Amino acid sequence: MSDKPTLAQYQQFIREENFKAYKCVDCGMVIAPPNGTCYGCGSTNMEWTDVSGKGKLISFTVIHIASEEFQAEAPYYIGIVELEEGTRVTSRLKGFDSEKPEDVTLGIPVLIDYEHAASGNVYLAFKPA
């Protein structure tokens, strides 16, 4: 594949609400955000791939004090989600009460979604499945 993976392209897919990960043609490992080299076998023969959008919540934190750009959105969750395909992504979490982090359970199934933030940006997000 001639496409060089860039973070800019990855973010563009998210803005278009068309999330893609990067997949190794040789061993099938799926990586996100993209890296030019496969973590599994070292191959550089990789291509963009769609994912199921299903995952589970591995970890999360609540952002109360945000930088100026994100102040209007606080408090909000940032989570680490392990996709069904095996890769882990950092993502916004939506559909959870940000005042009640004690209600968020690790390991629960989540589904890909997108967060349209007050700043006008679109972020990768996951919501309870």
Contact footprint for Zn ion (CB under 5 A): 24, 26-27, 29, 38, 40-41, 43
Q: Which is nearer to Zn ion, 26 or 82 (CB)?
A: 26
Of the two residues 83 and 112, which places its CB atom closer to Zn ion in the complex? 83
**Nearest CB to Zn ion, comparing residues 40 and 53:** 40
Quote the least distance from Cβ 85 to Zn ion, whole Å.
Answer: 13
Identity of the residue, 21 or 57, whose beta carbon is nearer to Zn ion in the bound complex: 21
At closest approach, how far in Å is the CB of 58 from Zn ion?
Answer: 22
| Contact criterion met (CB below 8 Å) for 106 and 58 | yes
Smallest distance, Zn ion to C-beta of residue 22, A = 10
Q: Are 125 and 32 in contact (CB under 8 A)?
A: no
**Shortest Cβ 32–Zn ion spacing (Å):** 14
SS (H, E, C) the chain: CCCCCCHHHHHHHHHCCCCCEEEECCCCCEECCCCCCCCCCCCCCEEEECCCCEEEEEEEEEECCCCHHHHHHCCEEEEEEEECCCCEEEEEECCCCCCCHHHCCCCCEEEEEEEECCCCCEEEEEEEC
